[in-house]
Amino acid sequence: MALLIEIKVPDVGNVAGIDVVDVLVKPGDKIKLEQTLAVLETDKASMDLPSSAAGVVQQVFIKPGDNVSEGTLIATVLADAEEPVLSEIEEPAKPEQAVGVEKMPEPVVAVPVALSVAQEPAQSVVHEPALSVVEGTASAHIAHATPAVRLFARELGVAIDKITAGSGRKGRIVKDDVKHFVKKVMEAGAVQSGSGIPLMPSVDFSQFGEIEERKLSKIKRLTGQNLSRVWLNLPMVTYHDEVDITDMEAFRIALNAEKAKDEVKLTGLIFIIKALAAAMEQFPQFNASLSADGERLILKKYLNMGIAVDTPNGLVVPVLRDVNRKGINELSAELAEISNKARLGKLMPAQMQGGCITISSLGGIGGTAFTPIVNAPEVAILGVTRAKMQPVWDGLVFVPRLMLPLDLTYDHRVIDGVEGARFMAAIKQYLGDIRRLLL
Ligand code: CAO
């Protein structure tokens, strides 16, 4: 025999003024035991109200926006005779009885209506327990979402409390918010996924004034991804120093004066390339890469050097091969060729591979120092900014000397601070007296 069951708001811990956020059933609906009838919300928490009987909904007495309290009649259900009824007419089951913890699908240990809101306000486990419970943390953020949306989020592996703002009524998280969240995470790419780093918020700048959007070039996007990956994976240190290149500069000017008009002129960078190569031969750990598992150092017997080149489409790093075996004129011609090709976007992928270390020179533009990012899996990068005449104390008087600032960034997993300083000292020795390159 069918039984008419009245379902009322149970004891939720002396909380008055509960908002009805959603009503999920209507008269005539066939419902299962424990199916959510409505979603209620206090100022501290959101909760699902399950049916204590299976059957057919006869009447629904609440609508979204209503304010209810313990004992308010929610709906009447004509219960199936064979199905169990969890509550008695007139006396609705305590939520703890209505939906036992162990009945909830793993890892949902939440007790939807059992929440004693007043006592446990910050326990997001009630709302989206999947992550919080497993990790044993209590989050301050409370996600409001219907069971269907939570289920949808769980199916996609999304911890709903990671979605900070819902676009539904009263900030409720709706399916589209979950989809949008997944899309954002996917777009953020491999660098961010799993890193635990919160995504940057999306800001509508047009609310502050006129804007224009430009798509990043492919080079910029790829460079950005790579730089972020390196930034997150390598513990980097940058060591700054300056070297007296007065004599080197005099030599460079003299050599250039000998050159025919159509010959490629030498810039200071060529000497820096040679000095860096010599220092790497002296300190082989700088001509090395760490194996992916971080267990072994792979030392290279060849010496190729990447040179960061500024192009209209972004930064590219063509590679000069065997720099230790080539003279400055040959290297100068090669640098002119690859930097031209880079600017015209005509470099082949092979011409950007196999580098052992990179130089990033901003000296043609200016600067006093910067912190270049290692072009991993290389272990170091040398930054160069603008040389300038400075008064240097020679022990008796100040003398004008051309000082070149250098910035060495290295992967601290491979290079110790002292090694970095010694390496820089060697570069300075070679540049300070380039005759040493012959030794
Ligand atoms: N101090 C003073 N003057 C310098 C200098 C320095 N450290 N480096 C270069 N110069 C001078 C050169 O001697 C040259 O002078 P002249 O015009 O009188 O001959 C002028 O600046 C321009 O040099 P250049 O930049 O054309 O040549 P380069 O060999 O020094 O550099 C290249 C070549 C390809 C590295 C450079 O053109 C370039 O693209 N630099 C940008 C690198 C970059 O984007 N780095 C990224 C940093 S991290 O994102």
Residue whose C-alpha is closest to residue 77's, from 12, 144, 32, 124:
32
Q: Determine the Cα–Cα distance for residues 110 and 126; give it in Å rounded to an integer.
A: 5
Ligand 1: atom nearest CA of 342 is: 34
pLDDT value of position 138: 33
Q: Identify which of 222, 269, 371, 382 to mutate to test ligand 1's pocket (most ligand atoms within 8 A of the CB).
A: 269
What is the CATH superfamily name and number for domain 237-438?
Chloramphenicol acetyltransferase-like domain (3.30.559.10)
- Please give the distance, rounded to the nearest whole angstrom, from the Cα atom of residue 360 to the centre of ligand 1: 9
Identity of the residue numbered 258: E
| pLDDT tens digits, 204-245 | 999 999 999 999 998 899 999 999 999 999 999 999 999 999
Q: Determine the Cα–Cα distance for residues 91 and 5; give it in Å rounded to an integer.
A: 10
**Residue 313 contacts residue 217 (beta carbons within 8 Å):** yes
pLDDT value of position 124: 26
Q: Determine the Cα–Cα distance for residues 222 and 387; give it in Å rounded to an integer.
A: 31
- Average pLDDT (120-138) is 27
Q: What is the mean pLDDT of the chain?
A: 83
Most confident of 20-24, 169-173, 312-316, 360-364: 360-364
The correct answer on CATH 3.60.15.10 for the domain covering 2-113 is no
Q: Determine the Cα–Cα distance for residues 331 and 339; give it in Å rounded to an integer.
A: 12
- The residue whose CA is least distant from atom 36 of ligand 1 is 309
Q: Determine the Cα–Cα distance for residues 23 and 389; give it in Å rounded to an integer.
A: 78
- Please give the distance, rounded to the nearest whole angstrom, from the Cα atom of residue 155 to the centre of ligand 1: 54
Q: Determine the Cα–Cα distance for residues 386 and 368; give it in Å rounded to an integer.
A: 6
Q: Determine the Cα–Cα distance for residues 235 and 182; give it in Å rounded to an integer.
A: 30
What are the CA-CA distances from residue 171 to residues 129, 174, 350, 399 (Å)? 19, 9, 52, 69
Q: Determine the Cα–Cα distance for residues 186 and 56; give it in Å rounded to an integer.
A: 42
| pLDDT tens digits, 162-187 | 887 788 877 888 888 888 888 887 76
Percentage of the chain surpassing pLDDT 70?
82
- Average pLDDT (125-138) is 27
In this structure, the dihedral spanned by the alpha carbons of residues 360, 284, 432 and 329, taken in order and rounded to 10 degrees, is -60
- Which own/partner pairs from 191-200 qualify as long-range (CB within 8 Å, at least 24 positions apart)? 191/225, 191/228, 191/229, 191/232, 192/228, 195/232, 197/232
89-98, 273-282, 298-307: lowest mean pLDDT where?
Answer: 89-98
- Please give the distance, rounded to the nearest whole angstrom, from the Cα atom of residue 338 to the centre of ligand 1: 14
- Average pLDDT (293-318) is 95
Sequence length of the chain is 439
Ligand 1: atom nearest CA of 361 is: 42
- Please give the distance, rounded to the nearest whole angstrom, from the Cα atom of residue 363 to the centre of ligand 1: 5
pLDDT value of position 194: 55
Instruction: Please tell me which residue, 433 or 139, carries the higher pLDDT value.
Output: 433
Residue whose C-alpha is closest to residue 380's, from 421, 352, 408, 418:
408
| pLDDT tens digits, 264-275 | 999 999 999 999
- The residue whose CA is least distant from atom 15 of ligand 1 is 364
Ligand 1: atom nearest CA of 311 is: 39
Ligand 1: atom nearest CA of 387 is: 1
Ligand 1: atom nearest CA of 309 is: 39
- Average pLDDT (311-329) is 95
Angle between helices 328-344 and 268-282 (to 10 degrees): 110
- Average pLDDT (315-336) is 96
Determine whether 412 is an active site residue. yes
pLDDT value of position 140: 40
- Average pLDDT (140-158) is 76
| Domain 2-113 identical in fold to domain 237-438 | no
**Residue 355 contacts residue 317 (beta carbons within 8 Å):** yes
Three-state SS string over the chain comes to CCEEEEEECCCCCCCCCEEEEEECCCCCCEECCCCEEEEEECCCCEEEEECCECEEEEEECCCCCCEECCCCEEEEEEECCCCCECCECCECCCHHHHCCHHHCCCCCCCCCCCCCCCCCCCCHHHCCHHHHHHHCCCCCCCCCECHHHHHHHHHCCCCHHHCCCCCCHHHCECHHHHHHHHHHHHHHHHHHCCCCCCCCCCCCHHHCCCCCCCCCCHHHHHHHHHHHHHHHHCCEEEEEEEEECHHHHHHHHHHHHHCCCCCCCCCHHHHHHHHHHHHHHHCHHHCEEECCCCCCEEECCCCCEEECEEECCEEECCEECCHHHCCHHHHHHHHHHHHHHHHHCCCCHHHHCCCCEEEEECCCCCCCCCCCCCCCCCCEEEEECCCEEEEEECCCCEEEEEEEEEEEEEECCCCCHHHHHHHHHHHHHHHHCHHHHHC
Q: Determine the Cα–Cα distance for residues 102 and 240; give it in Å rounded to an integer.
A: 61
- Please give the distance, rounded to the nearest whole angstrom, from the Cα atom of residue 362 to the centre of ligand 1: 6
Structural domain spans, the chain = 2-113, 237-438
Q: Identify which of 219, 243, 267 to mutate to test ligand 1's pocket (most ligand atoms within 8 A of the CB).
A: 267
- Average pLDDT (10-35) is 83
Instruction: Please tell me which residue, 46 or 269, carries the higher pLDDT value.
Output: 269
Ligand 1 site: residues with CB under 6 angstroms?
A: 265, 267-269, 307-310, 315, 339, 360-364, 372, 384, 386-387, 404
- Please give the distance, rounded to the nearest whole angstrom, from the Cα atom of residue 301 to the centre of ligand 1: 29
- The residue whose CA is least distant from atom 11 of ligand 1 is 364
- The residue whose CA is least distant from atom 47 of ligand 1 is 360
- The residue whose CA is least distant from atom 21 of ligand 1 is 364
pLDDT value of position 281: 98
- Please give the distance, rounded to the nearest whole angstrom, from the Cα atom of residue 16 to the centre of ligand 1: 72
Residue that the structure tokens 């979603």 belong to: 39
107: confidence class by pLDDT, cuts 50, 70, 90: very low
Instruction: Please tell me which residue, 81 or 301, carries the higher pLDDT value.
Output: 301
pLDDT value of position 15: 67
Ligand 1: atom nearest CA of 365 is: 21
